[in-house]
Amino acid sequence: MAKLVLELLAAALLLHVAATLRISAFNIRTFGDSKMSNQTIANFIVSILAEYDITLVQEVRDADLSSMKKLVSQLNSASSYPYSFLSSIPLGRNSYKEQYVFIYRSDVVSVLESYYYDDGCEPCGTDIFSREPFIVKFSSPTTQLDEFVIVPLHAEPSSAPAEINALADVYTDVINKWETNNIFFMGDFNADCSYVTAEQWPSIRLRSLSSCEWLIPDSADTTVTSTDCAYDRIVACGSALRQAVVYGSAAVNNFQETLRIQNKDLRIPPGRMGTVVLALSLLSTALLCPATATLRIGAFNIQAFGDSKMSDESVAGVIINILRRYDIVLVQEVRDSDLSAVTELLEQLNSVSSSPYDYEISGPLGRDNYKEMYLFVYRTDAVSVVDTYQYEDPQDIFSREPFVLRVSAPHSKAEEFVMVPLHSAPHDAVAEIDALYDVYLAVVNKWGTDNIVFLGDFNADCSYVKQSDWASIRLRSSDVFKWLIPDSTDTTVGKSDCAYDRIVVCGAKLKRSIVPNSAAVYNFQRAFQLEQEEALAVSDHYPVEVKLMA
């Protein structure tokens, strides 16, 4: 992998998922075309940014914003949420200039106002900041504190004490301009070691302001290399903002460990490489905002999922990034009798997600020595499992009879529904899809509900299910069922063009809960810009997905 030279400071707001607001500041050293032209590095950056609702990106050197637009485009492809960005102009005293860029989730926060702090006459040499703060006021209707200000700073190392001290003047300026002192100061302050010594702290006014709290202590190490320096900081000011910060939640999160990046991959040059993630939390209201409450359901046949898939870091990384799109996802073709790969999958998923994941899994299913399991991975703060049962299949029609799940999703319009998985044997696909009608009757009889999602790799196209077969398939011919993935869709990674993977729903309440036009194929090859060989190493199928309304 090319040089990965990232500087990272993240203030992550890690609440209950209902109204979680996660804020980060990420110094990506010399962010521009060279970073985004290396897809491995770009994927790491996207993985980091996808965890946050607001990210301050520093050291952006991208005057035409082409790289930033590419980054946000990839972020929107990889995330189930919409992202936008707001950029400063290039800032600096000479030909070397950087930009501050705020990337934010437009469904949970909005920009109210912004301005540049005027710190004096730059041509005269009387200005204080090398890169004066680009100050932004955000609206966050789902948090306890619904408005706050973020003041960014990437300090010049040689003038760090003076620049940090001058943030006290910025504090006063924001109060005078916007009549609020609920302000975050964050970024790469270069606030330690040779740049800011212990003797200099008493003269730094932002440090002594009683209304402000320094959340990252001087003893912290925010560097990746052998140095031990607390360069990167988060300062919270204002009584309402400080009360909203969860006590003890400011912490270091090493992205190298989180993303399992090997030192051999980093190729770190001498000197400082970068910083780690710093996290804190804001209290939020208990009510969900509509955007965060949308429930995303997926089905993904991960071809021959087991230890070999999870032992390949690149493949595992793509799988993790795909699964984290969903609140509940059916994984098929699991071949992992001791659950070692599933355990590793969940550990990695939970290590990179701010939302907790758990799973339900069937026993090994199959008529002979070849067996597979159905695996449901779900976010426990959005979904709970009410009941499960293994369909008995009295006529032995199914090669892998459905492992049926009844789930509660209290923040979705559907509230409760049943999931019926199917990975059909290709040459028995017609009979197996037809027999899902019998499963439908069994579920209605057992649980008294017809709000059911049938999903999985039905092998429902091309040579396995021909056009002439559809009339004999009850799941297709009955008006009770709505097929969300059309026959014209291609759900395969390779050169074939077949709609093998499907999602079918029934039940009036569930049908009304479907977000219009949300049923789709997730083309992870395009989203992560993989070569076909790299994509096929993950699977020969794309996931299919659908959203339920709040």
Do 25 and 236 meet the contact criterion of CB atoms below 8 Å apart?
no
Distance, in Å, from the CA atom of 377 to the CA atom of 400, rounded to the nearest integer, reads 19
Q: Could you write out the three-class secondary structure of 44-105?
A: HHHHHHCCCCEEEEEEECCCCCHHHHHHHHHHHHHCCCCEEEEECCCECCCCCCEEEEEEEE
> What's the pLDDT score for residue 125?
64
Alpha carbons within 13 angstroms on the beta-carbon side of residue 171 total 24
In this structure, the strands spanning 452-457 and 501-506 are antiparallel
Place of tokens 């008294």: 448
Which tens digits make up the pLDDT trace of 428-461?
999 999 999 999 999 999 999 999 999 999 999 9
Torsion of CA 533, 537, 541, 544, to 10 degrees: -110
Tokens describing residue 398:
């199914």
Do 152 and 181 meet the contact criterion of CB atoms below 8 Å apart?
no
Tokens describing residue 247:
């006590």
DSSP string, 478-534: STTEEE-S-TT---BSSS-----EEEEEESHHHHHHBPTT--EE--HHHHTT--HHH
Do 56 and 186 meet the contact criterion of CB atoms below 8 Å apart?
yes
Residue 410's closest CA among 387, 389, 388, 381?
Answer: 381
Do 182 and 145 meet the contact criterion of CB atoms below 8 Å apart?
yes
Architecture of the domain made up of 294-548: 4-Layer Sandwich (3.60)
Tokens describing residue 125:
């040499």
The one-letter amino acid at 519: A
The one-letter amino acid at 527: A
**339 compared with 549, residue with greater pLDDT:** 339
Do 17-279 and 294-548 come out as alike in CATH topology?
yes
The CATH number fitting domain 17-279, selected from 1.10.10.10, 1.10.260.40, 3.60.10.10, 3.30.465.10: 3.60.10.10
Residue 353's closest CA among 259, 275, 289?
Answer: 259
In the DSSP assignment, the letter for residue 194 is T
- Percentage, residues of the chain above pLDDT 90: 65
> What's the pLDDT score for residue 1?
29
> What's the pLDDT score for residue 43?
86
User: Catalytic residues, which ones?
Assistant: 98, 154
Average pLDDT, the chain: 87
Q: At what angle do helices 313-323 and 340-352 cross, to 10 degrees?
A: 60
Residue 153's closest CA among 111, 197, 195?
Answer: 195
> What's the pLDDT score for residue 248?
66
Find residue 24's DSSP bridge partners: 55
The one-letter amino acid at 386: V
Q: pTM for this structure?
A: 0.62
Find residue 138's DSSP bridge partners: 111, 148
In the DSSP assignment, the letter for residue 285 is -
In this structure, the strands spanning 183-188 and 147-152 are parallel
Tokens describing residue 113:
């106002």
**393 compared with 7, residue with greater pLDDT:** 393
Q: Could you write out the three-class secondary structure of 456-480?
A: EECCCCCCCCCHHHHHHCHHHHCCC
Phi, psi for residue 390 in degrees, rounded to 5: -95, 115
Residue 31's closest CA among 154, 156, 161?
Answer: 154
Which tens digits make up the pLDDT trace of 377-430?
999 989 999 999 999 998 999 999 999 999 999 988 999 999 999 999 999 999
**Is pLDDT at 246 greater than 80 in this prediction?**
no
**Is pLDDT at 255 greater than 80 in this prediction?**
no
- Spatial CB neighbours of 430, under 8 Å, sequence gap ≥ 6: 464, 465, 469, 472, 473
In the DSSP assignment, the letter for residue 306 is S
Question: For 22-45, what is the mean pLDDT?
Answer: 88
3-state secondary structure of 2: coil
Extents of the domains making up the chain: 17-279, 294-548
- Mean pLDDT lowest among 134-143, 170-179, 268-277, 326-335: 268-277
> What's the pLDDT score for residue 19?
46
Residue 211's closest CA among 185, 187, 182?
Answer: 182
Q: Residue 519 class from Cβ within 10 Å (0-12 exposed, 13-18 middle, 19+ buried)?
A: buried
Find residue 297's DSSP bridge partners: 328, 546
Find residue 505's DSSP bridge partners: 453, 482
Torsion of CA 68, 69, 71, 73, to 10 degrees: 160
> What's the pLDDT score for residue 11?
41
